[in-house]
Homo-oligomer: A and B are copies of this chain.
Amino acid sequence: MSVPPQMLASVLTARHEIALERRDVPEPGPGQVLARVTAVGVCGSDTHFYESGNVGDIVVEGPIVLGHETAGEIVAVGPGGDVSRVGERIAIDPQRPCRRCPHCKHGRSHLCPDMKMYGAYPHDGSFAEYVLVEDDFAFAIPDTMTDEEAALVEPLSVAVHACRRAGVTAGSRVLITGAGPIGVMCAQAARAFGATEIVVSDPMPLRRDYIAQHGADEVIDPASTELADYAERFDVYLDASGNTRAVQSAFAAIRRGGTAVLVGMGALDYEVPIAMLQHREITLTGTFRYVNTWPTAIELISSGTVDVSGLVTGRYGLDKTADALMKAKTDPTAIKTMIIPALTEFQDAP
């Protein structure tokens, strides 16, 4: 497999400015592989970086290639690497932890303070033709899995991690607030973990309709139904909205001894019904990325347990990255938008 010396990459150069540039293809170091990118999902955090130049504490201070929901094919391995992997189709976990801190050693490397996260400044991501990956974070996928399914392993991982932290298991009753892409993934993952009742609340009718077809047993319009009416009904509550009011209103619907996991990002601080949390011994926590989820998420998709077909609602070449980034904002029917480098129409970089 021949690798060209240069590649196209979509570079965020300033707020609201994406430039399609020619860059040198990077060379894999020890323990790394070089992957040709076949499909990359657009994440809400990519759009947030594009629009505002930051996500939480992470501020873009220079040119950066976004993109971290990535499928690819290994085209080269670093020194000492396993050359037999060249040609392998992969789904990519975009994390590069230090492997040496207590968090890494205890199996919670996603909390590593020295994490290098691809696609988050200053580590270039995969809105490009090629990307470097840690070899053990490049996971082989079966022939039956499509590139787009492989890219969707990342958002599914978010949901798998949430279900693990929430302890979803056979027979769980699960409430989800937010029916966007993460809400849909949470519903799918909860089902895969054995949940037998999945109720989803979202104010947007289109999203409610979609999730009613993709994992929810019941949908709620929060404008007309109080979550408090589901008094102490749910074992697990997952927030996929980041909406303060949604979270606050959901507590009354959690059973004594139940668990609430905040997946969506929202306000820095807000009021929590503390006395209720105490009297009912509700456990509240959040998720930060994911850890050790790729093998599970790949299995869930490839075994047919989780069905992600139909989630992709738009496909763009690298030359249309800006359009792709704004699609989710401008089109309420968009669930997941993909960048497909092979669809890029040639144009000279500026």
Enumerate chain A interface residues (CB-CB to B < 8 A).
31, 56, 99-109, 111, 113, 135-136, 160, 163-165, 169-171, 189, 192-194, 196-197, 256-257, 262, 265-288, 291-292, 295-297, 299-300, 303, 305
Among B105, B136, B273, B280, the residue within 8 A (CB) of A109 is B105
How long is the Cα–Cα vector from A266 to B160 in the complex, in angstroms? Answer: 35
How long is the Cα–Cα vector from A336 to B186 in the complex, in angstroms? Answer: 37
Among B194, B272, B291, the residue within 8 A (CB) of A305 is B194
Q: A170-B160, A193-B170, A197-B299 are in contact. Are A105 and B292 (CB under 8 A)?
A: yes
How long is the Cα–Cα vector from A332 to B221 in the complex, in angstroms? Answer: 53
Among B135, B194, B273, B285, the residue within 8 A (CB) of A281 is B285
Residue on B with the closest CB to A262? B278
Among B108, B269, B285, the residue within 8 A (CB) of A275 is B269
Q: A170-B193, A288-B281 are in contact. Are A274 and B256 (CB under 8 A)?
A: no
Copies in the complex: 4
Residue on B with the closest CB to A266? B274
Residues in B neighbouring A276, C-beta threshold 8 A: 268
Residues in B neighbouring A291, C-beta threshold 8 A: 105
Q: A56-B279, A280-B111 are in contact. Are A106 and B292 (CB under 8 A)?
A: yes
Residues in B neighbouring A165, C-beta threshold 8 A: 281
The reply to whether A268 and B274 contact each other, CB–CB distance below 8 Å, is yes
